[in-house]
Amino acid sequence: MLSNKTAENKTAPVTRASNTPDNVTITAQRMGFEFGEQVPRYWVDNSYTISHIMNALSVLFPQGEQFFVDSVRAFRDQISDPKLKEEIRGFIGQEAMHSLEHIAMNQHVRDQDMPVEELEKHLEVVLGIAKKLPKRHQLAITCALEHLTAMMADMLLERDDVRQDMDESMRPLWVWHAIEETEHKAVAYDVFQAAGGTYAERAFYLMFSTAALGVMSTYFTSRMMLNDRKNFSLVDTATGLWRLWGVNGTFSSLIPTWLEYFKPGFHPWDHDNSDLIARFKEEIQAHIAPQYQKGNRRTLQ
């Protein structure tokens, strides 16, 4: 006959820290994108302004995603849920692949006489300051920035007009990145919750991270536009900013989703958009370079 204590242990529910839907698998895939003369200088609808904004975002990714990896890895040993531990592994691998692909894109941007190396040094200083914060605060920053990237990923996959504005030589990179950002959008958040993260921490760092991203992306964009000032157009700039921040703009339309993060019971998968993953996943497989068709195991684990 089992003791009361043993019986309680046998019937006690297993705590599941992961909230990712069971139909979503988080695995890393190297793509091997190449960027050369086939890429127009202004690859977003021939817009000088929006193209520089997107180039600026790309410069932020490699170091930013390494920060994400480090902040999640710091708590990996505290996670007991096998599913979440496996998702952390997938998250680290995917972020590693994103860094490699955007490094390739950033070299293309550098070849257009953009000050990529200088901007990377500025970003290194900013992230160096962030790394002095307590580990859980760094994780809260990652959760906030993952919310922002998940919002943009969902918008990119949802809106045909946004994807179609991208030149076909660049579109696969951003669609692939959006798919994987959607797949792992809750991993850092679930780790944060399991590590005892508080509402105050996540709410504060969403505001902090949004402001920091806004400042850095604006500065990076301005520097690129300054380097390319011979092609500056006031009309293009005004039109581009309206398309991003005007009525139903690419970014302004995301404000309601941004605000959802402040709900006390918020979780990234409250909005289950896993159907978008299924919709685009097969399509993007056609863009894997031949040498990576059988997968690539290089990660930052």
Annotated domain spans of the chain? 44-263
Q: Which of the two residues, 67 and 295, has the higher pLDDT score?
A: 67
Q: What is the pLDDT of residue 250?
A: 95
Q: What is the pLDDT of residue 43?
A: 97
Average pLDDT along the chain: 92
pLDDT, tens digit, 9 for 90 and up, residues 75-93:
999 999 999 999 999 999 9
Q: Has residue 295 got a pLDDT over 80?
A: no
13 secondary structure, DSSP code: P
For the entire predicted model, the pTM comes to 0.91
Which residues, in sequence order, are CB contacts of 277 under 8 Å at separation 6+? 24, 179, 182, 183
pLDDT, tens digit, 9 for 90 and up, residues 199-248:
999 999 999 999 999 999 999 999 999 999 999 999 999 999 999 999 98
Least confident of 14-18, 55-59, 296-300: 296-300
Tokens of 130: 């962030």
CB 54 within 8 A of CB 263: no
Between CA 20 and CA 181 the distance in angstroms is: 13
Q: What is the pLDDT of residue 10?
A: 41
Q: Has residue 103 got a pLDDT over 70?
A: yes
pLDDT, tens digit, 9 for 90 and up, residues 1-46:
444 444 333 433 435 789 999 999 999 999 999 998 899 999 999 9
Between CA 188 and CA 143 the distance in angstroms is: 6
Q: Terminal CA-to-CA distance of the chain, rounded, Å?
A: 46
